[in-house]
Structure 1
Amino acid sequence: MAFDAESAYATLLPRFGRRLRLHEPLARHCTFGVGGPADLWLSLETRDELLWLVRRCLAERWPLLLVGNGTNVLFGDAGVRGIVARIALSDYRLVEQEDGSALLYAEAGVSWPKLLNELAAQGWGGLEFGPGIPGTLGGGVVSNAGAHQRDLSQVLEWVEVLDVRPALALEAGESAEESAPQLRRYERAELELGYRHSRFRAGRQITFDERGYPQPAPRALIEPAEIVLLLAIRLQRDDPAKLRTRIEEYRQHRKRTQPPQPSAGSVFKNPPGDYAGRLIEQAGVKGLCCGRACISERHANFIVNLGGARAADIATLIREARHRVRERFGVELELEVELRGEWEIA
């Protein structure tokens, strides 16, 4: 069934007002600065709004893609059919524990850099390794974000998710004991957290076609099927001045080592015992350009947008870097960036 954007817009407008936009360019909503239009774009500010929209999309069979800050995503040049909704839930609270630590209860849309500065001023440490991680905490769980030999798995206690898999199973004609979306809590040990991996990425593996171009994972009616809503993170007391110094050191390291142009951070995961950037550089493709996209001269595991790049240009560079590394070293690089939307690469 084709998605009727005009009809959906008329239905949703009374509830969401100016936050709802028709044919919104996704280049405005990702750090790569590329991507065609979403049929409908929306920013969700409360849990109730998110739950209501998911239920409505299930009832109406409207395709829904939920995103964060767009820091680790590459949208196709043809855009995204259906509704793209940004999770902007940004409340958090600290609860001190008897052992002197604290639990941070943070909604999925909390911005990592903004949170760090506020926690440091209060003398709470644990997340200060992440000033160079521009995304949200919810997105950080999906990829187990990390830097400077630390990652989220070392401080995360549990997450709460909205699980729509039973409803999607019913949609696909499979049996489901309970078809309504369910709130679930996963303890850290249940999240399968590893290097740039969690249970939430298990079904999102990007494949490559016979020519070597990346292909997005098949899309369900609601993506993702498990939607991170809330995180509980263990924090420890630390000296505010030391925390601020550490954060600034990490921030300066990022400025020295990462390119200033628009990008989505590291394109490929580091293979075991090596670095993707080193392999790409040694394979001779550092500085290679396609259209207005280039493999960065500063860091070869970054593809940058020089202004006016297309998603297809970036995909071509992904293909070329991966092909050259395989030819030279026999290593299959795995994408860290996620592909979303409609893709037709000539």
Structure 2
Amino acid sequence: MKVKVLTAKELTTLGIGRPTRVYFPENLSELSLLVREGFKPIGGGSNSVVSGETSLISLKGFQRVELKEKEITLGAGVPLRKVLKLQMKRGFLLFEFLAGIPRATVGGLIAQNAGAFNREVKELLKEVTFVTYSGEVKKLTEFKGFSYRESPFPKSGVVVEAKFKIEKEEKEKVKEKIREFVLRRLSKQPPFFLRTAGSTFKNPPEESAGRLLDKCGLRGFSLGDLKFSEKHANFLINEGKGTLKDFQEIVEIGKERVRELFGIELNLEVKIL
């Protein structure tokens, strides 16, 4: 099993946090051993900052892909971009509405119950295989524990792989849908090449976190090298050497101003590992 100390820039898209020891298990036995030690997983780091206070697990060694007529099994370490390429090559619908999320992995999408454009991963799940913190391998087929940007993971254990429902579609139509969602994402959000972790806060019920932050005058507000995007106020951008301290402070400023002006408590969507 490989072990590396990686920087926040290597681990996450925002590039904020301390260097962290990361284990790369190659089989279920190694993974179970690490999970029993209480270590948490990290996917592509597209919605994370790292504290460096504990070791992490990379699921890059778990990239099984098995495509059938009406379902597909995907390992937790399979990158989103790989699934999208397979959709275009083989002609089926699955994650097109998530196209454009940088460095995302299947395990991370499940743990976050990732969603966009009024859809979420929970709708597509048939079965999730995971390892509990006692080292047991279990399967989940009821998804009542999933909600808006929440799932039972990693609190209940670490996702190993999952089966998803798929829908056959013409290859050209799949390509067009993926292109359409990418363009819709770019029209509303900062471009992919900027260092961001996606939405900073979850949307409150019947509200938009971006709109609330904007109304508080935080669009374009900066602290150190961190800034709320001018294009979408709910996206924090690391313009250089933003630190974990900067992140914690600017997040508190956002929460405090929204609380004072609207009486609404914002909750982080970005995960601090």
TM-score interval, normalised by the smaller of the two chains: over 0.9
Aligned to 1:217: none
In structure 2, the CA distance between the partners of 1:145 and 1:239, relative to structure 1 (3 Å rule), is same
In structure 2, the CA distance between the partners of 1:155 and 1:24, relative to structure 1 (3 Å rule), is closer
8 A contact 1:271–1:333 mirrored in 2: yes
- The size of the alignment, in residue pairs, is 269
Q: Which runs of 5+ in 2 are unaligned?
A: none
In structure 2, the CA distance between the partners of 1:225 and 1:198, relative to structure 1 (3 Å rule), is closer
Instruction: Kindly indicate whether residue 116 of structure 2 is the aligned counterpart of residue 116 of structure 1.
Output: no
2-side partners of 1:291 and 1:127: how far apart?
A: 36
Residues 247-262 of structure 1 mapped to structure 2, 5 A cutoff: 247-260=178-191, 261-262=194-195
Instruction: Kindly indicate whether residue 51 of structure 2 is the aligned counterpart of residue 51 of structure 1.
Output: no
**TM-score, L = length of structure 2:** 0.92
1:141 maps to a residue whose letter is I
Q: Which runs of 5+ in 1 are unaligned?
A: 1-15, 97-101, 168-180, 202-223, 341-346
1:157 to 123, 126, 132: 126
2-side partners of 1:46 and 1:37: how far apart?
A: 25
2:16 to 13, 31, 34: 34
1-side partners of 2:254 and 2:120: how far apart?
A: 27
Computing the radius of gyration from Cα coordinates, the structure with the larger value is 1
Instruction: Kindly indicate whether residue 196 of structure 2 is the aligned counterpart of residue 263 of structure 1.
Output: yes
Q: CA offsets, 1:224-283, max 9 Å, x none?
A: 551111101000111110110010111122223222320110011111111100000001
Instruction: Kindly indicate whether residue 143 of structure 2 is the aligned counterpart of residue 189 of structure 1.
Output: yes
RMSD value over aligned CA atoms? Answer: 1.8
1:87 to 33, 43, 59: 59
SS in 2 for 1:197: coil
2-side partners of 1:126 and 1:65: how far apart?
A: 27
SS in 1 for 2:267: coil
Deviation, 1:45, is: 4.0
Aligned to 2:169: 238
Aligned to 1:128: 96
8 A contact 1:138–1:229 mirrored in 2: yes
1:323 maps to a residue whose letter is E
Instruction: Kindly indicate whether residue 110 of structure 2 is the aligned counterpart of residue 141 of structure 1.
Output: yes
Aligned to 1:170: none
Q: CA offsets, 1:181-219, max 9 Å, x none?
A: 2111111334x2221112226xxxxxxxxxxxxxxxxxx
8 A contact 1:153–1:188 mirrored in 2: no
1-side partners of 2:59 and 2:245: how far apart?
A: 26
2-side partners of 1:131 and 1:186: how far apart?
A: 26
8 A contact 1:29–1:69 mirrored in 2: yes
Deviates more, 1:42-51 or 1:134-143: 42-51
SS in 2 for 1:66: strand
Deviation, 1:132, is: 2.4
Aligned to 1:66: 41
In structure 2, the CA distance between the partners of 1:24 and 1:155, relative to structure 1 (3 Å rule), is closer
Aligned to 2:237: 304
**TM-score, L = length of structure 1:** 0.73
SS in 2 for 1:331: coil
1:127 maps to a residue whose letter is F
8 A contact 1:266–1:336 mirrored in 2: yes
SS in 2 for 1:251: helix
Q: CA offsets, 1:1-35, max 9 Å, x none?
A: xxxxxxxxxxxxxxx3xx422x4323321111121
User: After TM superposition, which residue ranges in structure 1, 4 or more long, deviate above 6 angstroms?
Assistant: none
Residues 207-222 of structure 1 mapped to structure 2, 5 A cutoff: none
Instruction: Determine what percentage of the aligned residue pairs are the same residue.
Output: 31
